[in-house]
Amino acid sequence: MQTAFHILSLIKELNSIIVGGKIVSTEFYKKERSAYIFIKKDKSTSALGFVFHPAGFGTYLVPASKVKVDTREKSWPIFDIVGATITEIKQLGFDRIFQITIEKDDKKRQLAFESIGPNGNIWLTDKNEIIQATLRKREYRSGAEYQQPKLPDSVSPINVSADKLQKCAKDQNFYSIRQFLQKRLFGVNKTIASEIVKRSGLEDEDFRSLTENHFEQLSKSIGELVKLFESASSGYLYEIAGAIEVYPFKLSSQETQPEKFKTLSLAVLELTLRRQTIVEQAGEEKNIVAALKRTTKRLVKRIAKIEAEIETAEDYATYKKMAELIQINLNKIKKGTKEISVDDIYLESSAKLTIKLDPALTPAKNAEKYFQKHRKAREGLEQMKRRLEISNLELANLLRIQSDLESNFERAKNQYKSELAEIMPKEAGVSENIQRLPYKEYELKSGVKIFVGRDGSDNDRTTFDFAKPYELWFHAQQCAGSHVVLKFPNKSFEPSKREIEETAAVAAFFSKARNDSLVPVLYTPRKYVRKPRKSKPGLVTVEREKSVMVAPSKPEG
């Protein structure tokens, strides 16, 4: 997705190539959700592409020959702007919105491009910014002035100072510098935040320990990044956490080599084409919603089953009473008896109680059998109640995801990337952001999920792309092995001692020490796991870790 930083780079391209050029044709493909304005300047013709397809969107300026729309749909004209000359182009604030001023027959008009993804739009206004038309038929009052979408309550990275950053950070409880930058600086996505942190040399610093000098370093890195976007001359396409992203320079925070393009716009064009090739949004949404419904239905059935088991198990005291009544009446029971009727001395009325017996067992063995049932039911009841608690948390989370998807599908799809990856059929190519999973998923006896990294770079992706900062990370101590993540149903979840030990046992099993009788396994919240610069795949450093000795255990399933 293009950010306000990317629009900053695009404005440079537009100003250097099409200002002074004449609009020679326009095309709007409604079903394809794309629009093109063709501009001729000197002897070359460029195409300003505006694509708002949910599966792949972007705004770019490329040679007209690069535009190939594979559709039978007849294009619509965009407003009445053919023959107009482009006189000025500017970004409206530090936002994903820019304005092109055009003149035709001594009449000045303006085009406002809202490059905000699937909800993007183009507005035509007069010189006083009174709306005349809209590309996507949005409602507006006659004579209404164009108002750009309201920006979130964030700080613009343009000319940001260390003092302003420090004020933004005051009394805030962020778990990382990266999260702080994403939340408080407009236009900063996860990758840009990582790049700022990397260039400032603060990868190993805790947000809560930042000093005035640290904020100076951050401010300086932000300023350098703005200049890199402003002076863009090339484009680089990356695959980051399974998603395609483009930038006008090489990222120091990414070790993988990107694909290079002559311009950033050509990279954006490639991005939109690849994303649309991977999946059509309509099919993707249908698959995700169907998978959510299936998962929710299974979970509701599981909850009902656990509740029934709990109801049965809560009667475990009856087993103990039966065992004791058998012992009291041992001399009255003959081997081979199928049932006995005895006085229930535990009741004031001393009513008769019928007890089923196994005729193949002695009376004493029958008593022991009921004692065993009592112990098993008593021990299992606590586990079942825990499983019910976790299942209800999972159900609440699924219902929240469904609600958010209904409200804003694209945003929610990206927000719940790892959760959706868990529930989608593994053979389905569901999304540009949800592809091959780098981990194997297992379930503890309580129902809590754990992720086990496959190996090497998959371990890194499991840890840094699919684990939440507050979830617990496990690894066999001083021994090669898989990264294991104990998933939390929600942020406030408190794992039990048994769940920690069970996860540690799995981490020990998926390590070189799996044949040892006891293995030390360390664990810590994922936010304290860091990737050293230029380190080998799977190699990390940890802080604030704890250790537990466990016997390696193969997970069920």
pLDDT tens-digit map of 229-247: 999 889 999 999 888 999 9
Asked which of 408, 435, 462 is the last residue of a domain, the reply is 435
Asked if residue 490 and residue 470 are part of one domain, the reply reads yes
Q: According to the model, what pLDDT value does residue 433 have?
A: 41
Mean pLDDT over each residue of the chain, to the nearest integer: 90
Q: Is the pLDDT score of 428 beyond 70?
A: no
Q: Rounded CA gap, 175 and 469, in Å?
A: 8
Residue 291: CA count within 13 A, CB half-sphere = 19
For residue 371, being part of any structural domain is answered with yes
For residue 352, being part of any structural domain is answered with yes
Question: Virtual CA dihedral for 332, 334, 336, 338, nearest 10 degrees?
Answer: -10
What's the chain's Rg over C-alpha atoms?
A: 32
Closest C-alpha to 128, from 108, 105, 142, 113: 108
Q: Rounded CA gap, 61 and 451, in Å?
A: 43
In sequence order, what are the residues at sequence separation of 6 or more whose Cβ sits closer than 8 angstroms to the Cβ of residue 520?
476, 477, 478, 547, 548, 549
Q: According to the model, what pLDDT value does residue 430 have?
A: 41
Q: Which domain holds residue 51?
A: 4-134
Say what percent of the chain tops pLDDT 70. 96
Q: Is the pLDDT score of 294 beyond 70?
A: yes
Angle at 59 between CA 147 and CA 242, to 5 degrees: 115
Asked if residue 393 and residue 322 are part of one domain, the reply reads yes
Residue 514 dihedral angles phi and psi, to the nearest 5°: -65, -20
> How many structural domains is the chain composed of?
4
Residue 76: CA count within 13 A, CB half-sphere = 12
Asked if residue 401 and residue 526 are part of one domain, the reply reads no
Q: According to the model, what pLDDT value does residue 270 have?
A: 94
Q: Rounded CA gap, 552 and 519, in Å?
A: 7
In this prediction, residue 426 has a pLDDT band, given cuts at 50, 70 and 90, of low
Section 416-443 average pLDDT: 70
Q: According to the model, what pLDDT value does residue 429 have?
A: 39
* Contact (Cβ atoms closer than 8 angstroms) between residue 95 and residue 120: no
CATH of the domain at 29: 2.30.310.10
Range from 347-361, 496-510, 537-551 carrying the lowest mean pLDDT: 347-361
Section 316-342 average pLDDT: 87
Range from 31-40, 190-199, 399-408 carrying the lowest mean pLDDT: 399-408
In this prediction, residue 434 has a pLDDT band, given cuts at 50, 70 and 90, of very low
In this prediction, residue 457 has a pLDDT band, given cuts at 50, 70 and 90, of confident
Asked if residue 429 and residue 443 are part of one domain, the reply reads no
Asked which of 209, 230, 264 is the last residue of a domain, the reply is 264
In this prediction, residue 432 has a pLDDT band, given cuts at 50, 70 and 90, of very low
Question: Virtual CA dihedral for 255, 117, 45, 260, nearest 10 degrees?
Answer: 10
Q: Is the pLDDT score of 155 beyond 60?
A: yes
In sequence order, what are the residues at sequence separation of 6 or more whose Cβ sits closer than 8 angstroms to the Cβ of residue 104?
81, 83, 84, 85
For residues 122 and 318, the model is more confident at: 122
Look at the alpha carbons of 174, 179, 182, 185 in this order and tell me if their dihedral is positive or negative: positive
Section 498-516 average pLDDT: 96
Strands (E), 328-480: 339-343, 352-356, 439-443, 449-453, 472-476
Asked if residue 445 and residue 431 are part of one domain, the reply reads no
Asked if residue 469 and residue 459 are part of one domain, the reply reads yes
* Contact (Cβ atoms closer than 8 angstroms) between residue 260 and residue 363: no
In this prediction, residue 555 has a pLDDT band, given cuts at 50, 70 and 90, of very high
C-alpha distance from residue 9 to each of 4, 189, 231, 381, 557 (Å): 9, 16, 7, 61, 50
Q: Rounded CA gap, 196 and 202, in Å?
A: 9
Angle at 377 between CA 375 and CA 381, to 5 degrees: 120
Residue 192: CA count within 13 A, CB half-sphere = 27
pLDDT digits (tens, 9 = 90+) for 1-31: 799 999 999 999 999 999 999 999 999 999 8
Closest C-alpha to 446, from 493, 498, 504, 487: 498
Range from 146-160, 507-521, 527-541 carrying the lowest mean pLDDT: 146-160
Asked which of 376, 400, 435 is the last residue of a domain, the reply is 435
Section 458-475 average pLDDT: 94
For residue 302, being part of any structural domain is answered with yes
**What 3-state DSSP class applies to 128?**
coil
Q: Is the pLDDT score of 500 beyond 70?
A: yes
Asked if residue 287 and residue 414 are part of one domain, the reply reads yes
* Contact (Cβ atoms closer than 8 angstroms) between residue 327 and residue 452: no
Q: According to the model, what pLDDT value does residue 413 have?
A: 87
For residue 142, being part of any structural domain is answered with no
For residue 65, being part of any structural domain is answered with yes
In this prediction, residue 346 has a pLDDT band, given cuts at 50, 70 and 90, of confident
For residue 147, being part of any structural domain is answered with no
Q: Find how far residue 467's CA is from the centre of its chain.
A: 9
Q: According to the model, what pLDDT value does residue 278 have?
A: 63
* Contact (Cβ atoms closer than 8 angstroms) between residue 371 and residue 319: yes
* Contact (Cβ atoms closer than 8 angstroms) between residue 61 and residue 10: yes
Q: According to the model, what pLDDT value does residue 195 have?
A: 96
Q: Rounded CA gap, 4 and 264, in Å?
A: 14
Provide the token pair at 150: 């309201």
* Contact (Cβ atoms closer than 8 angstroms) between residue 442 and residue 487: no
What one-character-per-residue DSSP string does 380-407 give? HHHHHHHHHHHHHHHHHHHHHHHHHHHH
Cα distance from N-terminal residue to C-terminal residue, the chain: 38
Q: Is the pLDDT score of 376 beyond 70?
A: yes
Q: What is the pTM of this model?
A: 0.54
For residues 369 and 379, the model is more confident at: 369
Asked if residue 427 and residue 469 are part of one domain, the reply reads no
Asked if residue 215 and residue 126 are part of one domain, the reply reads no
Asked if residue 545 and residue 475 are part of one domain, the reply reads yes
Q: Rounded CA gap, 428 and 424, in Å?
A: 7
Asked if residue 284 and residue 419 are part of one domain, the reply reads yes
Q: According to the model, what pLDDT value does residue 557 have?
A: 65
pLDDT digits (tens, 9 = 90+) for 45-86: 999 999 998 878 999 999 999 998 888 899 999 999 999 999
Asked if residue 468 and residue 412 are part of one domain, the reply reads no
Q: Rounded CA gap, 486 and 474, in Å?
A: 8
For residue 247, being part of any structural domain is answered with yes
For residue 144, being part of any structural domain is answered with no
